[in-house]
């Protein structure tokens, strides 16, 4: 599992801090939790500045290491839900749809990293995180949007926070559901999944009390090894029986397509780790480009997701569950081991998944009011416990894995992964492009924005309706 380690209160690091040279002229623009050190523009000055040459990274990563990190950030509970996503869309629409969504997501990530480089070059700063890129782009864009520059950071942080907490909800439901599947086989009467959630709650809180990310890294390494072995066993079960199209729909119901859209977005998008990974590379130029790290990773990821969804659906059909592990044969020890292994792997990385949510909540907001208190460390533990309890209570309220995945994918990643990159590019080049080039950019990005908004509204609404129905059925 990969965590957005690049999230920080500091939006920019000034030229003076990097080179020791005092900038020619600077002005400070206060924007709530961010302070932007902005170089006064002089004609041609920005052309002399290359952000890549001014980045100071303690332990830069190679291209291959970055590729592995990006793969780890995208391969998790989402890929296990792909057969269920194909059940909603059909094997043909699912395959084409996953490919198209993958292309769209990859293109939008390219928009984001190119805009970051351009804004860093103009402002003469080495790197920016996601909220800072968005705010800076708004300030560079149309005058009508500039009043939004103060609030846009909180909007981005809210989406990031909801997404990360949503991921943690998925983790809680996933772990409890797989433990329940094992326990039910060995007990005479099925046990409510909520009981298993309660059992894992206290250790979950203790894991999230770990304040240093360094101490969580070994858990990630163990989890990655377990996940790799588990995926191999899952593929064995998928291909153990001959593949058949009998009884499998090529095109699913239109009303269920939003559930497919949200699930694929949740599975594919790793938008929170993109800029930190690119910013920490030894040769960041190799991240983008036609044969760069991003395209290589996304080709592999989309191929794996289509393969898992396609063959998983052909194997299990309408019985495909929110995690393919729940479809594995109950009577086989190997299948039970896979459920236990993946439940353990996801469980021990809950702290990594929740790290960004804690970072945003504590460092960007709560610390400003409580940081000077002699009990600040105690208050931080309270915040950490509170966030874990939120994910726990949500999971207890609606313990439905596939609906959680679809909801948070449609709600958060439609905005973070598609809409905002299109907005960022438009604002970044608003005054630099003219004529046909500007018309094309605006038209294209408006279309992308409409797709994102429709996906957000329809996907979120459909998921919420399904959640409400599930809630009343449980009652």
DSSP code per residue over 137-197: HHHHS-GGGGGGHHHHHHHHHHHHHHHHHHHHHHHHHHHHHHHHHHHHHHSSS---HHHHH
- Number of H helices and E strands in the chain, helices first, is 20, 2
Instruction: Determine the Cα–Cα distance for residues 36 and 149; give it in Å rounded to an integer.
Output: 12
Instruction: Determine the Cα–Cα distance for residues 469 and 475; give it in Å rounded to an integer.
Output: 10
Category of 292 on φ-ψ map: left (φ > 0), alpha (ψ -120 to 50) or beta:
beta
Query: What pTM, to 2 d.p., does this model score?
Result: 0.82
Instruction: Determine the Cα–Cα distance for residues 338 and 99; give it in Å rounded to an integer.
Output: 28
3-class DSSP state of 290 = coil
DSSP structure class, residue 39: E
34 phi/psi in degrees, rounded to 5: -120, 145
DSSP structure class, residue 61: B
Q: Cα separations (Å) of 248 from 89, 252, 256? A: 11, 9, 16
Q: Using H for helix, E for strand and C for coil, what is the string for 201-242?
A: HHHHHHHCCCCCHHHHHHHHHHHHHHHHHHHHHHHHHHHHCC
pLDDT in tens, the chain (475 residues): 434 334 443 333 223 222 333 333 333 333 333 434 444 444 455 567 888 887 887 778 888 888 887 887 777 788 899 999 999 999 999 999 999 999 999 999 999 999 999 999 999 998 888 899 999 999 999 999 999 988 999 999 999 899 888 888 989 999 999 999 999 888 878 889 999 999 999 999 998 898 876 777 777 778 888 988 999 999 999 998 888 888 899 999 999 999 999 999 888 867 777 887 888 888 888 888 888 899 999 999 999 999 999 999 999 988 999 889 999 998 899 999 999 999 998 888 888 778 888 888 988 888 888 767 788 889 999 999 999 999 999 888 878 888 888 888 898 989 999 999 999 999 999 999 999 999 999 999 999 999 999 999 999 999 888 888 876 665 5
3-class DSSP state of 38 = strand
Burial of 453 (0-12, 13-18, 19+ CB in 10 A): middle
User: Which among 358, 359, 326, 331 has a CA at the least distance from the CA of 343?
Assistant: 326
Burial of 355 (0-12, 13-18, 19+ CB in 10 A): buried
Category of 90 on φ-ψ map: left (φ > 0), alpha (ψ -120 to 50) or beta:
left
421 phi/psi in degrees, rounded to 5: -60, -40
């Amino acid at each position: 599992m990969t965590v957005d380690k690049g999230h920080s209160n500091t939006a920019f690091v000034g030229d003076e801090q990097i080179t020791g040279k005092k900038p020619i002229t600077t002005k400070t623009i206060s924007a709530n939790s961010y302070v932007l050190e902005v170089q006064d523009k002089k004609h041609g000055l920005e052309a002399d500045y290359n952000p890549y040459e001014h980045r100071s990274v303690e332990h830069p990563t190679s291209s291959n290491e970055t590729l592995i990190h990006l793969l780890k950030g995208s391969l998790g509970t989402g890929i296990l839900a792909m057969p269920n996503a194909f059940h909603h869309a059909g094997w043909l629409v699912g395959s084409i749809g996953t490919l198209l969504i993958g292309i769209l997501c990859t293109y939008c990530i390219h928009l984001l990293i190119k805009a970051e480089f351009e804004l860093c070059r103009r402002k003469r700063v080495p790197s920016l995180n996601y909220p800072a890129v968005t705010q800076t782009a708004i300030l560079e864009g149309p005058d009508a949007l500039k009043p939004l520059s103060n609030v846009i950071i909180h909007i981005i942080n809210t989406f990031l926070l909801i997404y990360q907490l949503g991921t943690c909800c998925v983790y809680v439901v996933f772990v409890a559901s797989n433990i329940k599947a094992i326990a039910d086989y060995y007990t005479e009467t099925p046990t409510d999944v909520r009981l298993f959630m309660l059992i894992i709650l206290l250790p979950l809180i203790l894991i999230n009390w770990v304040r240093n990310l360094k101490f969580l890294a070994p858990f990630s390494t163990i989890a990655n090894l377990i996940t790799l072995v588990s995926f191999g066993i899952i593929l064995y079960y998928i291909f153990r029986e001959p593949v058949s199209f009998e009884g499998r729909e090529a095109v699913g119901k239109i009303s269920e397509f939003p559930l497919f859209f949200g699930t694929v977005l949740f599975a594919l998008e790793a938008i929170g780790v993109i800029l930190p990974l690119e910013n920490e590379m030894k040769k960041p130029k190799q991240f983008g480009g036609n044969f760069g790290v991003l395209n290589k990773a996304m080709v592999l990821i989309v191929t794996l997701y289509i393969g898992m969804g396609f063959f998983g659906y052909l194997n299990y059909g309408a019985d495909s569950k929110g995690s393919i592990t729940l479809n594995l044969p109950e009577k086989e020890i190997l299948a039970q081991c896979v459920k236990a292994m993946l439940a353990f792997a996801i469980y021990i990385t809950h702290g990594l998944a929740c790290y960004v949510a804690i970072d945003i909540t504590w460092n960007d907001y709560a610390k400003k009011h409580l940081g000077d208190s002699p009990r600040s460390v105690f208050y931080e533990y309270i915040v950490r416990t509170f966030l874990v309890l939120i994910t726990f209570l949500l999971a207890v309220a609606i313990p439905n894995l596939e609906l959680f995945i679809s909801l948070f994918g449609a709600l958060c990643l439609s905005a973070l992964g598609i809409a905002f990159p299109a907005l960022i590019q438009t604002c970044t080049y608003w005054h630099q492009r003219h004529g046909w080039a500007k018309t094309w950019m605006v038209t294209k990005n408006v279309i992308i924005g409409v797709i994102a908004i429709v996906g957000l509204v329809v996907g979120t609404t459909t998921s919420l309706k399904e959640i409400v129905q599930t809630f009343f059925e449980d009652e």
